[in-house]
Chains A and B, each alone.
Chain A
């Protein structure tokens, strides 16, 4: 009963390094999302993908890129990590229609030093 799986769970990066957060869902959902969560800021949308082959910017896209590799997978890449990108990252998915439940992965704790 996997649901949404994201890796890695924890990562420490040096400023300027790059990395990719991986996300996969096994619920056959059309829509997938990447959020970051910071104290006092709540969940903020970085990028989303309404369907395979499409991606759109969210509220805070700068410094990130995404790839919707197929229907199951949606990756988030930091090309040149900055301390301001220290955060908890959540991948999520839902069936795509308004009103449907959104399901989250367990989160990835990223620290940039």
Chain B
């Protein structure tokens, strides 16, 4: 079993839709979590950190559920520019980061 698992998608949604991704992690020792965004043939870039209390940044909301060992990303009012691959990342406080394989989102007009 992979340490960080994501549904690869693709998720095909119309503009304006709300879409949610989940990511599960197997190691309860994980300390910190992140969502990264990766555009085609580009490097991953930080989208947002994920806190136990949940956090929101504009149209994006991230949640952490330690009891069930998953994190989620909610995107409201999807834009065409949101089309990308979203990577879930677990940080085990050992200077290693474990990346999920990514969930691909395609927003269509």
Q: How far is the CB of B88 from chain A (nearest CB, A)?
A: 10
B99 touches A106 (CB 8 A): no
Whole-angstrom distance between the alpha carbons of A41 and B5 in the complex?
Answer: 11
> Which residues in chain B, 4-39, are within 8 Å of chain A measured between CB atoms?
8, 31-32, 34
Is A99 interfacial (CB 8 A cutoff)?
Answer: yes
A residues lining the B interface (CB < 8 Å): 31, 33, 35, 40-43, 45, 48, 50, 58, 90, 96, 98-99, 101-107
Is B80 interfacial (CB 8 A cutoff)?
Answer: no
Give the interface size bracket for B toward A: 20 to 34
Chain B residues near A45 (CB-CB < 8 A): 96-97
Whole-angstrom distance between the alpha carbons of A33 and B94 in the complex?
Answer: 13
Give me 4 other A-B pairs in contact (C-beta within 8 A), A41-B101, A48-B96, A101-B34 excluded.
Answer: A40-B101, A90-B43, A101-B46, A102-B97
B residues lining the A interface (CB < 8 Å): 8, 31-32, 34, 41-46, 49, 87, 89, 91-97, 99-102
A98 in complex: contacting residue of B32, B41, B43, B45, CB < 8 Å: B32
B8 touches A98 (CB 8 A): no
B43 touches A99 (CB 8 A): no
Assuming the contacts A98-B91, A99-B91, asked whether A43 and B42 have C-beta atoms less than 8 A apart, the reply is no
B43 in complex: contacting residue of A42, A48, A50, A105, CB < 8 Å: A105
